[in-house]
Amino acid sequence: MRKRRAWNTLYSVMGKSEKTGAEIIAAYVKTLPGKPGVYRMINDSGELLYIGKAKHLKKRVTAYTKYDSHPIRIKRMIRATKTMEFVVTGSETEALLLEAALIKRLKPRYNILLRDDKSFPYILMRTDHVAAQLMKHRGKRNKPGEYYGPFASAGAVNRTLDTLQRAFRLRTCSDSVYASRSRPCMLYQIKRCAAPCTGEISLKDYAQLNRDASDFLSGRSQILQKRLQSRMENASKSLDFEAAAEIRDRIQAMAFVSTGKSHLAPKTFKEADIAAIHKDGGLEGGGQACVQVFFFRAGQNWGTNAYFPRHAKDQDSADILDAFLAQFYTGKPIPKQVFVNIDLPNKALLETALSERREAGFRIFRPKRGEKFKLVELARRNAGEALARKMAETASQNKLLAGLAEELDLPDIPERIEVYDNSHIQGAHATGAFIVAGAEGFLRREYRTFNIKDLDTKPGDDYAMMGEVMRRRFSRLLKEDELVWPDLVLIDGGKGQLSAVARVLEELGVLARTVLVAIAKGADRNAGRETFHMLDRAEFTLPARTPVLYYLQRLRDEAHRFAIGTHRAKRKKQMHASPLDAIEGIGPGRKKALLAWFGSAKSVASATAEDLAKIDGISKKLAGSIHDHFNE
């Protein structure tokens, strides 16, 4: 269960009361000002129920005291409210931005939530090297260079990078590879790189390619195309047919991006996002919704994403899309304009708030005709198709989970399943891991790994390793109450692993908060003959070739794949580690100097302190530390 974190309020907060619902809210109304702000509603166990904004706090909160005028969902929220907190803001715009940021971070139960909100990838043209490097980038924009994006997905970035390589032949290799080349690589041979590393093209001509690519990514493609056509004609007149053919190929590659069937290049605008919503049963009915977003930058389609915000069944499409846009552009670059397929209740407020955040003009339009309307309708149809696929997958998954609950005698259908496994080779490079699954399938962003750290754990002791993983995992769950607890914990192992896990959870006092099931491999380790162990039930098997058994096998195999993949990565990293890495004060520079002087770490280990001190950057004190490290 998620619980609230400490929140520094700018307005007085009343303590908890024995009163309930509307009476508690009415007591707060007496002290509230008629100013804009944000309010939070919290239940008796500290769980955050709802975050809302208001132009006039007193009037907005007063509305909750009229209990009978609200739908059942809001009545339930009012009844559960035991305390409230408030922040007074300078304007309604500021309240909207604060509300969106808090909802996105704290994820209250009764708010519309944007899910699957990962960061977007960019194309980076690095400018801190004599030969600019073209690369994919995700995360903080702290590298020097020009950033182009955002793109909807890594696939959209890769397609654009491939086109840029064909058209402009810019390098994508790292600086170390660039510096070590003595002859052109394969990319030069297949005409994907101009090979400035070996002088196949002058740095001046390569810089022109870089400028051309920047013009293309910045939306100046028509001007660039005219310039390239002029160069091609001049090359033809000079009988330099090879250069003319190269420029022709570049123009064709650019034209593929601009007119290719899969790219939907617009003609009436250069920069915009399209956000179209489709709700099951029509725009106002049904219980699930999908928002399809198209990204257009520099006159090109840079990809599309489908989002499935969490919301109540009685919330209409306009409110869902309104809340979606406020959260979607929190911490993300904002375009000049957004085209939507329905009218938004807070359109003017959103425009003002996002204009302030963008520090430039921003508008929301609902086109009624022409190219923009056709693109919005295309996005809406895509949203409908994505929602249909999602609902079909969810229905199948829910059926599996219901069958699982029946076979394991669970009190409820599990919403969150965690599956644990360990991996090691005779105790070396031991790692633990767990995966997460639910109604939406595998939740890969919530997978976690553990390095086995306990010195008392004997190498190869699976029981102790599983116990350590569980202790660390559930201790964190106890400390960070906003984390979601698993309804079902699956363990790859037998009765011994189950007992070890149960002991740990009992020590922590949380054994009753989840259900434990151990999956032991079948006879001869054959899939389909697994034995299941539970604390309050004799060991049992499931009928062969049933959907529930296949589902449990998939869960176990996914946990095993993830755990062994982590183990192999750790082992590979250790194989490439140097003994010098363990010495305090030895960083990459000094390590490089030592290896360059002595030739190997083995030679460094056998060197005297006097020999070590002869190297630039190695003081007598550090030389003594290095010598002592290898000669304890």
The answer to whether position 8 is within a domain reads no
Q: Are residues 345 and 249 in the same domain?
A: no
Asked if residue 619 lies in contact with residue 613, where contact means CB atoms within 8 angstroms, the answer is yes
pLDDT in tens, 74-122: 898 999 899 999 999 988 988 988 898 888 888 888 888 887 656 778 8
19 vs 609: CA distance, rounded Å: 76
pLDDT for 421 beyond 80: yes
CA atoms within 13 Å, Cβ hemisphere of 381: 6
226 vs 230: CA distance, rounded Å: 6
Q: Which domain holds residue 54?
A: 21-106
Q: Are residues 171 and 237 in the same domain?
A: yes
Whether the bond between 71 and the residue before it is cis, its omega within 30 degrees of 0, is: no
Q: Are residues 563 and 583 in the same domain?
A: no
Q: Are residues 426 and 567 in the same domain?
A: yes
Mean pLDDT taken over the chain: 82
pLDDT band at 247 (very low <50, low <70, confident <90, very high): confident
The answer to whether position 540 is within a domain reads yes
pLDDT in tens, 255-284: 655 544 444 678 888 889 999 999 875 444
Q: Are residues 128 and 185 in the same domain?
A: yes
The answer to whether position 343 is within a domain reads yes
The answer to whether position 339 is within a domain reads yes
The answer to whether position 156 is within a domain reads yes
The answer to whether position 3 is within a domain reads no
pLDDT in tens, 324-333: 999 888 878 8
- Show the tokens assigned to 395: 């229905």
pLDDT in tens, 110-161: 888 887 656 778 888 888 888 888 888 887 778 888 888 777 777 778 877 8
The answer to whether position 393 is within a domain reads no
pLDDT band at 16 (very low <50, low <70, confident <90, very high): very low
Strands (E), 324-390: 337-340, 363-365
Q: What is the pLDDT of residue 253?
A: 64
Q: What is the pLDDT of residue 255?
A: 63
Tell which of 47, 72, 106 closes a domain: 106
220 vs 225: CA distance, rounded Å: 9
Q: Are residues 422 and 565 in the same domain?
A: yes
Range with lowest mean pLDDT among 15-24, 204-213, 360-369:
15-24
Count how many domains the chain has.
5
pLDDT in tens, 444-460: 888 988 887 766 666 66
Q: Are residues 459 and 536 in the same domain?
A: yes
Full strand arrangement of the beta sheet holding 289-297: 300-307, 289-297, 272-279, 337-340, 363-365
Q: Are residues 490 and 544 in the same domain?
A: yes
373 vs 393: CA distance, rounded Å: 30
Tell which of 106, 135, 169 closes a domain: 106
